[in-house]
Amino acid sequence: MKNIEIKAWCRITNNKVLLNGEELQIPIKENTSWLTNIYKSLKIDYPKYFKMDKLSKSGFLASEIIMRKLNIEPLKPKPNWSIILMNNSSSLETDKEFQKTIQSPSDYFPSPSVFVYTLANIVTGEIAIRNKIIGETLFYVHQKFSAQHLYQYSLDSFSDQSIDNVLCGWVEDGDGDIDVLMFAIAESSDKNDFTIENISKLY
């Protein structure tokens, strides 16, 4: 069995951001959404953020916080990184948005910019684009957060010979509740703290 080390982890909920267990102070501006307050606190210039749906924003922000902590250069191509994410509601919040644009015949105007986000794996694509991650990207759906499956999928990603770093986690925005737990993990010679038990504790 391989040793897998947690390089950094990030937890985002409706009112808290944790990086490696420590709470980040997010300056709150009025008339600005919680996620955009987090975005502003990062002081980055990435206009694509504003086009994203809430699911993609949530995942993007967690990945940004992690990659910055690890001092990883976004523009360097990363064939050795993969992204494995999972959640409960897939893209349901955006599905409902899109449904509104086609529900009534008198008000029928399906929007391509909404439709593209009716696929949950778009969040893996957004993170891949930002960080030039050109390894594996996968998205899974489970009824509940499953530390066991998160662990299994990540382990399987390392069995792809090109991959030695994985961004993995749970990214959920169902009913407006942000629920994100993301890890950057890597194979390690000595440390082995990416275990089902630890993952469960950090959720």
- Which residues are near another protein by CB under 8 A? 77, 79, 83, 88-90, 92, 95-96, 98-99, 102-103, 105, 108, 110-112, 115-116, 118-122, 124-126, 128-129, 131-143, 146, 149, 152-153, 155-156, 159-162
Q: Return the structure tokens found at 189.
A: 């010679």
Measured from the CB atom, the residue of 16 and 79 that comes closer to another protein is: 79
Measured from the CB atom, the residue of 34 and 87 that comes closer to another protein is: 87
Least distance to another protein from the beta carbon of 203, Å? 17
Other C-beta atoms closer than 10 Å to the C-beta of 180 total 23
Measured from the CB atom, the residue of 162 and 195 that comes closer to another protein is: 162
Least distance to another protein from the beta carbon of 22, Å? 30
Measured from the CB atom, the residue of 34 and 194 that comes closer to another protein is: 194
Least distance to another protein from the beta carbon of 46, Å? 14
H helices of the chain, where?
Answer: 34-41, 54-69, 92-103, 112-115, 122-131, 147-158, 196-202
C-beta separation of 126 from 56 below 8 A: yes
Least distance to another protein from the beta carbon of 184, Å? 17
Least distance to another protein from the beta carbon of 163, Å? 10
Measured from the CB atom, the residue of 17 and 157 that comes closer to another protein is: 157
Measured from the CB atom, the residue of 47 and 105 that comes closer to another protein is: 105
C-beta separation of 163 from 138 below 8 A: no
- HEC assignment per residue over 6-38: EEEEEEECCCCEEECCEECCCCCCCCCCHHHHH
Residue 139, H or E segment: strand 137-141
Q: Return the structure tokens found at 192.
A: 């082995």
Residue type at position 137: T
Least distance to another protein from the beta carbon of 133, Å? 6
C-beta separation of 132 from 77 below 8 A: yes
